């Protein structure tokens, strides 16, 4: 579940820049709080959920305090927490704490919301062979953090972008003339890149595996059709169900024998986990 600290730094820098302007300043904190004042704050869950993003919040406080703030996690990444639980304790210059507050919470709440939603899917698939996957339907600029949050919540990343996995979808099939032609062209051009093929019928699934595909996205197939495809393909390819999946139907789709369920909603529709920062009374 590692984070790329360079990528975290870029995101934190951009997010703080949105809040602080140019030249950077927090006019309220600068006007009301003495420069030398030091306080302690707690990051507190306001709802039950799964935590992700504490290392990112720590980087925000470090950035605003010039490294002077101490950050003490009270829970681990991926832990389930209850409303009222203290997630971390931060001590440092009061101005820096309040300057960091919204940016740290925006990122922590977002990431924890994704992890919480993902955990619900992982729990729904427990006891089956299926794993929940994310998609590229991420918030622009936050993909690295959101996909990390998916992993923290018990899901798996399918691909990071257009560069690491070739995915032949409907428009590629139309442009190339057929599944077979598209697959051949990708293999010839990028022989070392994994290839996934989207299919919508049993016939397309068979064409794809006969062309050499070993990973199929079964798009918007009902469970009965998925079972037919699983039986027809056998162990020649891994199969993923995708399209209009819900938590209520997750177990039904997993029971067809597919290996994965991909859920764009993990990143595009997860509500935040409500988390607040409370200064301790002086």
Active site residues: 102, 137, 169, 198, 219
Residue 237: CB atoms within 10 Å: 20
- 95 φ, ψ to 5°? -55, -45
Mode of pairing for the β-strands spanning 195-199 and 166-168:
parallel
Query: Angle 179-189/202-211 helices, nearest 10 degrees?
Result: 30
| Consecutive H or E run containing 138 | none
Residue 260: closest CA among 168, 162, 109, 132: 132
Answer positive or negative: Cα dihedral of 160, 265, 7, 112.
Answer: negative
Residues 234 and 92 sit within 8 Å (Cβ to Cβ) = no
């Amino acid at each position: 579940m590692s984070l790329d600290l360079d990528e975290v730094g870029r995101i934190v820098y951009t997010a703080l820049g949105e809040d602080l302007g140019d030249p950077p300043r927090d006019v309220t904190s600068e006007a009301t709080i003495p420069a030398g004042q030091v306080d302690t704050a707690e990051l507190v869950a306001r709802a039950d959920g799964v935590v992700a993003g504490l290392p990112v919040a720590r980087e925000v406080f470090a950035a605003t305090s010039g490294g002077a703030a101490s950050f003490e996690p009270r829970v681990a990444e991926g832990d389930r927490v209850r409303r009222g639980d203290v997630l971390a304790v931060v001590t440092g210059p009061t101005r820096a704490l309040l300057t960091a507050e919204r940016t740290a919470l925006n990122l922590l709440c977002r990431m924890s919301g994704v992890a919480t939603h993902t955990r619900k899917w992982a729990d729904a698939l427990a006891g089956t062979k299926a794993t929940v996957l994310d998609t590229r339907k991420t918030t622009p600029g936050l993909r690295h953090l959101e996909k990390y949050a998916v992993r923290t919540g018990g899901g798996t990343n399918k691909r990071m972008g257009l560069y690491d996995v070739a995915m032949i979808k409907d428009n590629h099939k139309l442009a190339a003339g057929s599944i077979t032609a598209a697959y051949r062209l990708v293999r010839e051009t990028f022989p070392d890149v994994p290839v996934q093929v989207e299919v919508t019928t049993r016939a397309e699934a068979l064409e794809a595996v006969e062309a050499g595909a070993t990973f199929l996205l079964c798009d918007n197939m009902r469970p009965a059709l998925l079972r037919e495809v699983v039986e027809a393909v056998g162990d020649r390819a891994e199969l993923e169900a995708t399209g209009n999946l819900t938590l209520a139907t997750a177990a039904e789709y997993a029971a067809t024998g597919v290996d994965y369920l991909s859920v764009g909603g993990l990143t595009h529709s997860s509500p935040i986990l409500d988390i607040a920062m409370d200064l301790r009374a002086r």
